[in-house]
Each structure stands twice: as C-alpha cells, then as structure tokens.
Structure 1
Amino acid sequence: MNQAARRIGRTLALVLPVVLVLSGTLAVTRVPWAAPNAESQVLTASSDNASTVATVRAPHEVLRDRLLSELQEKNPGVALTHLQEATNGRPSLAAHCAEIARALGRAAVAKYRSVKQAQSYARPVCDVSYATGVVGQSH
C-alpha cells in the first residue's frame, strides 16, 4: 500500500504541474480584449501584428544616460566620479569610458555655457576624454 501511494504521489508530482500550465495557457488564449461581445478577437503569440518592438539597451547606454541626467541635476564632478566607480566595478564598461566622458564634457559646456566652468570639473577619468568633449563643444 505504501509503495502504491508513493507511485501515485510521484505521478501526480510530474503530471499536475504540466496540466496546470497547459490549462492556464489555454485559458488565456481566448480572452476578448475590446468588447464583451467581440468573439473574433483572440490573443495570439505572433509578432506579425505587434505594434511596438521592445528594445534592449546596452549597459553603457544606460550608464551614459543616467550620468547625463546626474550632470544636469548635480554637477559634472559627481557624474565623473560615478563614471569612474562604474568602470572600476564593471570592467566591461571601460571600453566605453572615453565615449561617455566626452558626452559628459559636451553636456557640461551646454549646461554652463562656459568652457572654463565646464573644464573646472575635469578629473583624471578615462584619460583626457572629458576635456576633449569640453574643448570639442566650444568650436
């Protein structure tokens, strides 16, 4: 009797999750989305009629955008410090450090409308990329 109960228990443990997943999936495929009387509208897993495509942004793009916002809210020095911390903590970002620092330099000139004031925040992050961005923006 004990072995029969174990066998039944094992069978249920294997079959029950599959049944639950399939029944839940099938229940979702027949949901009317527009009106209660819309019989022809069915949820499908097709990308043919998708209106938007989700885009995955690279980590360096997310970091750049976050630091540019931080520069606007605070100052370039804070953003440069966080850039250095990010590249130290995640070496894969180091390849994009110069590009991000130049973008910060350009944004600092745009914010302060002064090369001299923007240059005053320069730090030894990514060599001279921040300074290059500042000077490049002044022309």
Structure 2
Amino acid sequence: MNLNLGVVDVVYTDGDGTTTTGDVAGYLESRYHIMRIFLEENEGFIHDCITNEVAGAIEIIAQGKRVPKLELRPAMSRIEERFRDALDSGELHRILPQSQQVSDATLKTSSRKKVMTQTESRQAFIDSGLFQNSFLAWVS
C-alpha cells in the first residue's frame, strides 16, 4: 500500500488557459518540496489517521463481523484538511530555508484580480486557492 499526495488536474481559467493545477504542483514540488515537507512534518499525524482506520476494521473483525472493504477515505480526508490548514497557517512557508522564501507572498502580491495587486496579506503557495483546493491524498 502506498500513500500518494497530489492534485486533481484542473485548468486555471485566468491567463492563457494552459496552466493546470498539476503544472503548479509539479513546479512547487520541484522548487520548494512542499508535499515532501508536509509529509515529513506530519508523519506521526498521517500514521495515526491510517492506523485508526485499520484498527477500527480489526475491531469489527474481532467482534466476528465481516468488513466488506477497508475504507481509508476518512483518513485521507483528514490528511487533505491538514495540508490545506498548513498552507492557510503559513506553516509550510515558515519551514523553508530563508533562501527559498516565496517572493510573491513576501511582496504580498496576488493575481486573484485582473490586475496584479498588492494585498494586506497572503500566505505563500496560495494565490487563487485552486491548487490548495485540488489537493488529494489517496492510497494505491
């Protein structure tokens, strides 16, 4: 069984329409390793989420009942929520070395509007929110 972290591949509607969440995820992972950092920083939490689901299935079996299929979706949902919260709180950005700080977030620029503007505040790795919202965790 493998834990996978990724995104639903969705096309950004602004710009030229050729950039996808998969493109953004690939760039962010190759440049900042945010999914790897998230995994390393939350290893215990992820372990507990998956272990609790498996333990629940074992309890059902111990009671003499049949478990039709091990369902890990609730655990995956908790992991996805934790990733989104880590982006919202700036946790992943704070872990980065100073040499890898994200300039758009530092400059507080946002492309959420037609004209790139400065905002009061913006967390790193969240611009339109599409990447954050498309994050998925699954097992294979």
What is the TM-score normalised by the length of structure 1? 0.26
1 or 2, which has the higher helix percentage?
1
Greater length-normalized contact order (CA 8 Å, ≥ 6 residues apart): 2
TM-score by length of 2: 0.26
Which structure's CA Rg is the greater one? 1
